[in-house]
Structure formats: C-alpha cells, structure tokens
Chains A and B, each alone.
Chain A
Amino acid sequence: MNYLGLILKNPFRNKTRASLAIVGIAIGIATIVALGLVTSALQSSTETTLKAGQAEITVMTNGSNSFQSSADLNLTQLDNVKAISGVKDATGVLTERVNLNSSSSSSQGFGPSGFSVTGIDSSKLTLAGINASSINGTIYSGSANEIIIGKTAAANQNKTIGDTVTLYNQTFKIVGIYETGSFMTDGGAYMSLSKLQNLTSNSNKISNILVKVNANANVTQVSQEITDTYPDLATTTALDQAKMVNNLLSVVNTATWAISLLAIVIGGVGVINTMIMSVYERTREIGVLKAVGWTSKRILGMILGESIVITLTAAVVGTIVGTVLVEGGLMIYGITALKPVFTLDLFVRAFGVALLVGVIGGIYPAYRASRLAPTEALRYE
C-alpha cells in the first residue's frame, strides 16, 4: 500500500455517493464530448465540401441563396457569365427536391423536404465536386434514364448500382454511386440537366451557375465583376460559404464552452458537497493521521487527490458515453457522411474541465481537513 493507492481507494468507500457525484460530472463531460465530436464532424465535412467543389463561385438570382434555389436563371445568363473576364468555365445546374417512390417516402436525403436531385451536364460534374475517381460505376448518359446517387443517399434508400428509382413517374437506373465526403453532396443525386429540365418543365432554365475562375484570377474580383455587371445576379464564393458555416459552428462552439462552464459550476458544487461530507465523516480518522505524524500538506493532498480521482473517473465515463452517443446516433440515423473527428484538443478539454472541477471542488474540503486540530478531530463523535 502507498499514498497514491490510498487516494485511489478512498473515494469509493461510500460507493453510492461517489457514483452519484461521478454521474453528475459525467453528464457534463459527455455533453462536452458529444457536442465537440458533432462540431468537428460538421467542420470536417464542410472543409471537404469546399475542397471538393471545383467551382469557386456559385451564381444565383439576387435575393435567393445558394442552398435553396429556384429555377429562375436561364441559359443566356449562363453565356453572359461565361463572357466575364477571369471566368475559365461555367455551367448551369438545376436543383430540385423530390420525394422518391412511395415505398421509400420515409427515407429522406439531406434536408427536410426530401431528396435533392441536381441536373448537370455530365462533362461538367467536376465543377460540382464529383470527379470520375469518386464514382463507383459509370456516369449517366444524356439520353437514357440514368442517374448517379451519393453514398449516403444510396445507404438511406437501400439502393445499389443497377437498382432503379422513380422520379416524376419515370424510372431511372442507378449507374453509379459517388462519394465526395460532403454530407450535403453525398445525400443527393445527379442526372442529365436536360432530362431534369424536361421532367420539371423548366426548359432552358437553371437554378445556379457554377463558375470556375482562371488560375491567375482573383475569385473575389471575378465574383464582384459578375454582380457589378449583372445586378440581378448574386454570387457566393467558397470563402463566403466557409465563413457562413464557420459562423454557425462557432455558435455551437460557444454553446459547448457555456456547457463546459455550467458543468464546472454544477460539478464543482457537487464535488464540494461530496468531499465535505467525506471529510466530516472522517474527522476522527484525519485526527489519527495527524497523530501518527502526517503533515497538513499530506492530508490536503490526499483529500484534493480523492476529489480529482472522482472527477477524472467521471471524465472517463463521460467521454465514453459521449462518444457512444454520437457514434450510436449517427449509426441509428444512418448518417454515414458525418464522421466524428477525435481530436486531442477535445479530450484535453474534457479532461481539463474534469481536473478543474476536481481542484475547485476539492480545495476547500481539503483545506478544512488539513487545518483540523488533532485533539478536536480525535474527540469528534
């Protein structure tokens, strides 16, 4: 037996009380870990989206946004954009949200309104972030009823290459399944632009223009020129989108910190209570330890150590529970495109919070224990 062994053993004398204190702190830690994992997964997916998106600028009608577009652009506007200086390539896309056949109506792609289908010329798929290497199978042809779907969508709809889907009362054969790493892109499907235009009675109409700029051109300047030349158009750049998503993630991040703070306060109060009770119950024992020669410093270290043992145990429990919740949740809801990122930073934060709670919660009871007068402690009933 040694000093450290004693510190590890003591907190579990009263198992119920120790367990309750651990559960209280573990809930806070689990929340921190779960939110952190979700944030990092979203961040990682967003970064993938932006890297994979070959087009640097998305053009839409002024007043709409790149995520929810309606078919209100036309091919003339596409030609106008192509003529802007610095534009290397541009293509029109038409995005529609559809429900698949009734048997799979409960399975949805990304978004609340169903399954996102984008029409794009098959030779321009790279502008949408889909390279030939990211497709398992083949690219759809312009003439046949063919479609490629994202890996997440395929998993959600339980479809594989060779299966069919029904869109607008027509049967389409799945010829390829692609994976870009972006949960938005991988949750949808792509098909011929002209086919989708015909199916949706949007002949010659598009919802967005994807613009690739020349290597030596400045994305912001090109974007500015498009909107200056055509005030009825609006643009969003990859950088804008990144900023928007990052703003959203920073809100989640702030919430995580707020929860961390709350966990520190609530957990700290819980630990103070647990440790004060423990010191009260062991007053006579502390008197004995002083009588046999233990220094006040050693007693302070023991009680503080016991407090930290409780909170670090809670950190282990909370980290496991938080991780299992996120992994399990993603698995149950079939969200394969979101992959939690286990960063050192997250675990340092979880264990740092636990350590802080342990120190804050343990310091006062430890100080009280160390200051006990031995004679009074030995008389304590």
Chain B
Amino acid sequence: MNNENIIEIHKLKKSYDKGKIKALNGIDLEIKKGEFVSIIGPSGSGKSTLLNMLGALDTADEGTINVAGVDLTKSRDLSQFRSKEIGFVFQLHNLIPNLTVLENVQIPMLETPLSSEKREERAMELLKSVQLEDKINQRPTKLSGGQRQRVAIARALVNHPSIVLADEPTGSLDSKTGDIILDLLKDLHKKENVTLVMVTHEPYVANLAERSITVKDGKIIEEKINT
C-alpha cells in the first residue's frame, strides 16, 4: 500500500439478493491521507454501499479494500477498526433521544479505556468547535435540525478518527443550514486533519470537495479535481 494513501480499493464487487442486484461492479479507488473526496451519483448507483464498505459496515464479495492499513476483507475485529479509525455522519443525525447532547457525543468513547473526566473533556472540546457549548445538557428533541447534525459531527470526530464518512450530511436540511454544516465539515477536516469522504447527489455539494468521484451502476465513471 502506498504510504500516502489511506484508502486503497481494488476490483471491489458487492451484490445483493443472490447476485441479482449488483451494487458495486469492480471499483478501483485510492484516497490520500487528509484528502476531501466527494462521491456523487444517482439513487441506486452504489455510492452509499461504497461508503458502508469503507466504514466496514458491510463486507465485499470480491476484491480488496484496505483502509488505514487494515485489510477489511481479512480483518475480523471490525468493531475496533470502526471505533479507532472511522467517524460516521449520517443523513439523519441518529442521536439517542434520551441522552443529552454531551452524553450523545461521548457514546463512541464508551468503547475506549478513557476515564469519564477525559471523555467529558474531549466531548466538550468538540461541542465548542461546533458552537454548541451552551446546549450540552439539552436533549436532541429540543434542538433544530442543523444543531442536531452539528452534534452528530462532534460525535463522529470524538475518537480522533483518521477518516470521516459522511452520507448525505445535508440531505435532510434546508440549503442555508446545509451550507453551515458543509462549512463546518470543511473546517473540521482541516483542523482535525482527517480524511473526509462525503456521499451526495447534489453536484454543488460535491464540488466543494478537493476531488469528486462519480459512480453509476456500481462503477466509477468519472473522477474530477475541483479547483
């Protein structure tokens, strides 16, 4: 694996329904450390499947997938890999409703040996970064959609992941709030020095990334460097 690359995918294939639905049909992709890459494509093109493969949420049928030095086709302890290396931001924030903002951000850290003081300290640091330090004791139901997504971003970054995978992070937000979230993601990507891979179906959002990859019918049909 090239030292500069954090993600290397070779001839990746994935199908569902006993091979009837070919979600990924031979993907080759390399992503450098610290890069911001967007994956764009129509519904059913396989972009979310690709993201799930990168995050070790799903397994490949064929091909190799190496992320942060871990061969995901061979590794058995994928939970630990996800805990250490990956931060997820979903279209829907998926926060736990009975926990406060501060507690929600700490959830991924419960798998780590950190003391509760350290966990709280780290969660507070990130909540300040997303400007929600005044909402730490609120429940997600009391927050706006944008605020919830900011909590989700803080949660994704809390374990110092090397890669953040964002699946349509602005998909459920109005355009103004969406812009704020995208700015925040870009800022944190630089500040926290993480690789950011974002799936979207909006060209405008995809163009914010340093590189855009277009996926269709389970294949990469175009790669573009954005200026």
Chain A residues lying within 8 Å of B210, measured Cβ to Cβ, are none
CA distance A294 to B103 in the complex (A): 15
Q: Given A295-B79, A378-B90: A289 and B107 within 8 A (CB)?
A: yes
CB-based contact B94/A284 at 8 Å? yes
The residue of chain A having its C-beta at the shortest distance from the C-beta of B94 within the complex is A288
- Interface residues in B75-91 by Cβ distance below 8 A to A read 79-84, 86-88, 90
Chain A residues lying within 8 Å of B119, measured Cβ to Cβ, are 1
CA distance A2 to B159 in the complex (A): 16
Q: Which of A2, A10, A375 contacts B52 (CB 8 A)?
A: A375
Q: Give how many A-B residue pairs fall within 8 Å (CB-CB).
A: 73
- B-side interface size class: 20 to 34
The count of chain A contact residues (Cβ–Cβ below 8 Å) is 24
CB-based contact B82/A378 at 8 Å? no
The residue of chain B having its C-beta at the shortest distance from the C-beta of A284 within the complex is B94
Q: Which of B87, B94, B155 has the most CB of A within 10 A?
A: B94
Q: Answer yes or no: B111 CB below 8 A from chain A CBs.
A: yes
- Interface residues in B29-67 by Cβ distance below 8 A to A read 52, 55, 57-58
Q: Answer yes or no: A290 CB below 8 A from chain B CBs.
A: yes
Q: Which of B84, B86, B90, B111 contacts A288 (CB 8 A)?
A: B90
CB-based contact A293/B94 at 8 Å? no
Chain A residues lying within 8 Å of B173, measured Cβ to Cβ, are none
Chain B residues lying within 8 Å of A288, measured Cβ to Cβ, are 88, 90, 94, 96
Chain A residues lying within 8 Å of B159, measured Cβ to Cβ, are 292-293
CB-based contact B57/A292 at 8 Å? no
Q: Answer yes or no: A67 CB below 8 A from chain B CBs.
A: no
Q: List 12 A-B contacts (CB under 8 A).
A: A1-B99, A1-B103, A1-B106, A2-B110, A13-B97, A288-B94, A292-B107, A292-B111, A293-B108, A293-B159, A294-B111, A298-B110
Interface residues of B (CB under 8 A from A): 52, 55, 57-58, 79-84, 86-88, 90, 92, 94, 96-99, 102-103, 106-108, 110-111, 116, 119, 155, 159
Q: A1-B116, A9-B99 are in contact. List 7 more A-B contacts (CB 8 A).
A: A3-B110, A288-B94, A291-B55, A291-B57, A292-B83, A292-B87, A378-B57
